[in-house]
Chains A and B, each alone.
Chain A
Amino acid sequence: MTRYIVRRLLQAIPLLLVISLILFVMMQNATDPLATMGGRTPTRPEDRARLTRQLGLDKPVYLQYIYWLIGNDWTKVDLDGDGVAETPGKRHGVLRGDFGTSIVQTGRPVTTVIWERLPNTLILMLTSEFVIVLGALLLGIYSALRQYSLFDNILTGLLFIAYSMPIFFVALSGMYIFSINFQRWGLPHLPTVGMFDPKIGKTTGQIILHMILPVFSIAFISFAAYSRYIRSTMLEVLGQDYIRTARSKGLPKREITFVHALKNASLPIVTIVGLDLPLLLGGAVVTERIFAWPGMGRLFLDGIDRGDTPVVMGILMLIAFAVVIFQILTDIVYAWLDPRIRFD
């Protein structure tokens, strides 16, 4: 088992390096960080040249990548523009945990900037995942127990429609109906955007109220995939011999469904949850934009718009790393839950 984990981790290293190199080169060429520097556009050519040097943007891209990766404290950089590298570099590089400093929020370390936003994204995403799994379990088990019934057929159709909807359409429709029109009709309504009402403050109740629409928008389009999956694994398990044995010895139906069947059917669910969770971090981009949720997705979009390469790279690396780690974790949990699986 340990050998398996070590091998997987070692395999992940070249993968992350290649991903980071491609993304870095693209990011570096996509935007001009100086054009939008925190709103104070440096127009004088000498200012531009000085800032370019300070940010290290005058170096060729491969050197910038190396500095980003392993830092530049082993060499000297030229800050005053006389062609002589005299100032020792201060960066430690990503491999030593230094993701650099944000360009937009001048001087603040990227890790701080991301950590500020990460909890907001996590609270939204983990709640959504919880709602998705809970709802999909209910729907999936119910339609598996009543296969080909009217309920099963209608549900299948509805879920298929939900599955085909882009999240922005669901989010906008939800917002239009439950906040704007409910308000117009004088009914209790949900808030449209933001994380809390500035007049009331950041209380738990406010955050929950503001989370309802985004969470259900995300859950709505994801129910289909999960509940279809649960339905098919439930159907498979329900056809097994041990279920027939359980039935024939007269166990109550509830116990068969929720103890004997669900326990075995829930194994594959671990896999999809494990693989989906890190991707949800990135999938939040659209949801966070619509609901003005101050999370990582919006940080990412702002970073792209304003050429904040260190922050964008930090977010991407965080997600890529999370994907790799979650894959390994999923495999471990799976092997732990199902003793038939052995890694060697």
Chain B
Amino acid sequence: MTTTQNLPDQLLVTEVESPPLTLADLTWRRFRRHKMAIFGAFVLVFLFLYSFGGAFFVTEKYANKTNTKERLQAPSAAHPFGTDTVGRDILARTIYGGQISIVIGLTAAFVEVMVGILIGAIAGYFGGKIDSLLMRFTEAMLNMPTLLILIIMSKFFSDKIANVNILGRTISGSVIVIIFIIGLTSWPYLARIVRAEFLSLKEREFILAARATGTPNWEIIFKHILPNTIAPVVVNATLGVANAISSEAYVSFLGMGVRAPTATWGNMLENAYRYIETAYWLWLFPGLLIVLITLSINFLGDGLRDALDPRSRTV
């Protein structure tokens, strides 16, 4: 038999698992122990299937079809979630609305991350006047009540973008407006984190070495420093998706977000409060879906934060 059998257990573990664990392996090991994060991930997969898989069962035409004879009907076999104020089927609209809400969440978070990284990296790396100028601007953005700014921006841009056709579907131009205004108002927090990381990383030896070999600035920023800030960026991008989905819901709830007929979980709630005494199904189902998706993304982000935190690097 082999000699390893005689070795103490402690040694065995380190000897047998000799190939070093990558960051992804380490993260996954810690992540899977976070029960709520796993639960969040499952719910997210379910919501994803619900919105994108559901499209195979109902057509968008049906989701947008108005039928005033069947307005404000309570949930029934024909309309499991009931119908809205102009007789559209709420179940079908939550499916197509979910697609738009999820797309808005992902793309707005993408815009947020791009702007946040760019501003944070430039401020942190170059320092001096550029840094203080950019940080004053970031503080100004951080100080303003975002919702009010979102409302004004959405009002300002809403009718200036034409409808677009993507994959044979007509999508209201207001979707694009919402994506950009949410992305462009939510980056300050991320920019501050990236800047702080850059401030400490740029003083390290490997950056000195890179500079000594004549590496251009942009390469140091994007190839040497940025990959080291990946942990907080991933966590914030995740939470940014939830934030973007609920921001869209807030703006659309107030009737200044995505325009009909394009449905989102947010704009389905518009005016629903006026029917609170008669038609609870108007706000309950889209509202629950919004709660479910923000909750599960927040759980996921929480799990990722624990898993990626360098201070808990014990497996």
Q: Which residues of A are found within 8 Å of B249, using beta-carbon distances?
A: 166, 168
CB distance from A300 to the nearest CB of B (A): 7
Which B residue sits closest to A169, measured CB to CB?
B287
Complex CA–CA separation, A327 to B142 (angstroms): 12
If A166-B290, A168-B253, A285-B254 touch, whether A176 touches B148 (CB-CB below 8 Å) is: no
Within the assembled complex, what's the spacing in Å between the Cα atoms of A320 and B139?
Answer: 12
Does A138 sit at the interface, judged by CB under 8 A? no
Verify B287–A30 contact, CB threshold 8 A: no
A160 on interface, CB distance cutoff 8 Å: yes
Q: Does A126 belong to the interface (CB within 8 Å)?
A: no
**Cβ of A123 under 8 Å from chain B:** no
B155 within 8 A of A: yes
B152 and A282 contacting across the interface, CB-CB below 8 Å? no
Known: A19-B144, A166-B290. A285 touches B151 (CB 8 A): yes
Which parts of B208-263 form the interface with A (CB within 8 Å)? 242, 246, 249-250, 253-254, 256
Let me know if B148 and A319 touch, CB within 8 A. Answer: yes
Nearest neighbor of B246 in chain A, beta-carbon distance: A166
- Closest CB of chain A to B245's CB: distance in Å? 9
Please indicate which of the listed interface residues A166, A289, A301 has the most CB atoms of chain B within 10 Å of its own CB.
Answer: A166
Bound-state CA distance A30–B256 (Å) is: 12
Q: Select one of A165, A283, A290, A327 contacting B273, CB under 8 A.
A: A290
- Contacting residues, chain B, for A163 (C-beta < 8 A): 298
Query: Across the interface, which residues of A come within 8 angstroms of B149, CB to CB?
Result: 23
Q: A169, B254: Cβ atoms under 8 Å?
A: no
Q: Which residues of chain A are within 8 angstroms of B277 by Cβ–Cβ distance?
A: 180, 192
How many residues of chain A have a CB within 8 Å of chain B?
Answer: 45
Q: Is the CB of A286 within 8 A of B148?
A: no
Q: Answer whether residue B199 sits at the interface, using C-beta atoms and an 8 A cutoff.
A: no
Question: Per-residue 0/1 for A1-32: is the Cβ within 8 Å of any B Cβ (1 yes, 0 no)?
Answer: 00000000001001100110001001101110
Answer yes or no: B269 CB below 8 A from chain A CBs.
yes
**Quick one: closest B residue to A19, CB to CB?**
B140
Would you call A169 and B291 a contact (CB within 8 A)? yes
Cα–Cα, bound, A165→B292 (Å):
9
Q: By the criterion CB–CB under 8 Å, are B276 and A168 in contact?
A: no
Task: Say whether A312 contacts B295, CB under 8 Å.
Answer: no
Mostly, the B contact residues are helix
Contact size range, B: 35 or more
CB within 8 Å of B: which A130-145 residues: none
Of chain A, the residue at the smallest CB distance from B266 is A166
> In angstroms, how far is the closest chain A Cβ from the Cβ of B249?
6
Answer yes or no: B198 CB below 8 A from chain A CBs.
no
A323 at interface by CB-CB < 8 Å: yes
Q: Which residues of A contact B140 (CB under 8 A)?
A: 15, 18-19
Task: Kindly state whether residue A237 has any CB partner on chain B within 8 Å.
Answer: no
Cα distance A289–B147 when bound, in Å? Answer: 14
A309-328: which have CB < 8 Å to B? 312, 315-316, 319-320, 323-324, 327
Task: Please tell me which one of the listed residues A11, A15, A283, A323 contacts residue B147 in the complex, with CB atoms under 8 A apart.
Answer: A283
**Chain A proximity of B276: nearest CB distance (Å):** 6
Interface membership of A175, Cβ < 8 A: yes
Decide: A164 and B291 in contact? CB cutoff 8 A. yes
A27 — which chain B residues lie within 8 A by C-beta?
A: 152, 156
Residue of A11, A164, A283, A312 touching B152 (CB-CB under 8 A): A312
Tell me if A168 and B273 are in contact (CB < 8 A).
Answer: yes
Q: Which residues of B contact A31 (CB under 8 A)?
A: 155
Let me know if A161 and B295 touch, CB within 8 A. Answer: yes
Q: Which residue of chain A is the closest to B148 with respect to CB atoms?
A: A282
Separation of A319 and B295 alpha carbons in the complex (Å): 30
Chain B hits for A169, CB < 8 A: 283, 287-288, 290-291
| CB of A279 closer than 8 Å to a CB of B | yes
A61 contacts the other chain (Cβ, under 8 Å)? no
Contact B254 A324 (CB under 8 A): no
User: Which residues on A sit within 8 Å (CB–CB) of B26?
Assistant: none
B136 touches A15 (CB 8 A): yes
Q: Does A172 contact B (CB under 8 A)?
A: yes
A57 adjacent to chain B (CB < 8 Å):
no
Cβ of B143 under 8 Å from chain A: yes
Select B276's contact among A19, A172, A301, beta carbons within 8 Å.
Answer: A172
Q: How far is it, in angstroms, between the C-alpha of A277 and the C-alpha of B221 when the chains are bound?
A: 38
Q: Let me know if A304 is at the binding interface, CB within 8 A.
A: yes
Give A290 to B253 CA distance when docked, in angstroms: 10
Q: In the complex the two chains form, what is the Cα distance from A320 to B50 in whole Å?
A: 42
Query: Complex formed: what's the CA distance from A173 to B50 in Å?
Result: 24
- Picked from A164, A166, A285, the residue with its CB within 8 Å of the CB of B148 is A285
Residues of chain B whose beta carbon lies under 8 Å from any beta carbon of chain A: 36, 136-137, 139-140, 143-145, 147-149, 151-153, 155-156, 242, 246, 249-250, 253-254, 256, 269, 272-273, 276-277, 280, 283, 287-288, 290-291, 294-295, 298-299, 302
Besides the known contacts A26-B153, A29-B156, A172-B287, 10 further A-B residue pairs in the complex with CB atoms under 8 A apart:
A15-B139, A15-B143, A26-B156, A27-B152, A163-B298, A180-B276, A192-B276, A285-B254, A289-B254, A327-B143
In the A-B complex, list the 7 residue pairs whose CB atoms are closest, starting with the nearest: A282-B145, A164-B295, A30-B156, A30-B155, A169-B287, A164-B294, A26-B156
Question: Could you show 6 A-B contacts with beta carbons less than 8 Å apart?
Answer: A15-B143, A26-B153, A168-B273, A173-B287, A281-B145, A312-B152
